[in-house]
């Protein structure tokens, strides 16, 4: 699903989107979400810089967004940016025994499940 940000006329296609309230859409086609609470991007060599920089810059303008999650695909590493007032606080998770706390939806996601059946090149 596409996500629209108030700061641009561009649209973004996050890898995972979560919305908790009633979804708000840009028009009657219902394919452009305006109020995500969590956005997840799986990092790749071709998109990592954009996901960390320009894309996150646009996402930060979404008033509804509480958590932005970056998942590495070449190692065990999940980064979560969490909104705290006007600031964004970064926390890293790199151990398969850790659980990613998703505070906005009051749940925990085990890293082991995120990386289930993922094999890394030697």
Mean pLDDT by 10 residues, the chain (122 residues): 74 85 69 83 94 91 93 95 95 96 95 92 74
Identify whether 42 is part of a domain.
yes
8-state DSSP, 74: S
**Cα–Cα distance between 33 and 13 in angstroms, integer?**
10
How far is it, in rounded angstroms, from Cα 99 to Cα 101? 6
What is the reported pLDDT for 20?
A: 80
Per-residue model confidence (pLDDT) at position 27? 67
Q: Is residue 119 part of a domain?
A: no
User: Can you state the percent helix, strand and coil of the chain, rounding each to 5?
Assistant: 15, 35, 50
Provide the pLDDT for residue 5: 77
Domain assignment present for 69: yes
How many domains would you assign to the chain? Answer: 1
Please tell me the predicted confidence (pLDDT) of residue 62: 87
Decide if 54 is inside a domain. yes
Q: Would you say 89 and 82 are in contact if contact means Cβ atoms under 8 Å apart?
A: yes
Residue range(s) defining the domain that contains residue 84? 2-114
**Domain presence at residue 122:** no
In a domain, 13, yes or no: yes
121 assigned to some structural domain: no
The CATH number assigned to the domain holding 82 equals 3.90.1570.10
Give CA–CA dist 10/4, Å, rounded: 7
């Amino acid at each position: 699903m596409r996500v629209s940000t108030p700061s641009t006329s561009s649209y973004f296609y996050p890898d995972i989107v979560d919305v908790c309230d009633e979804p708000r859409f840009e028009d009657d086609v219902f394919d452009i979400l305006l109020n995500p609470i969590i956005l997840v991007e799986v990092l790749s060599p071709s998109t990592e810089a954009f996901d960390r920089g320009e894309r996150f810059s646009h996402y930060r303008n979404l008033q509804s967004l509480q958590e932005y999650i970056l998942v590495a695909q070449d190692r065990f590493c999940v980064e979560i940016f969490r909104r705290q007032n006007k600031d964004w606080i970064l926390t890293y998770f790199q151990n398969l025994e850790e659980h990613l706390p998703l505070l906005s939806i009051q749940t925990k996601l085990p890293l082991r499940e995120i990386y289930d059946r993922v094999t890394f090149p030697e």
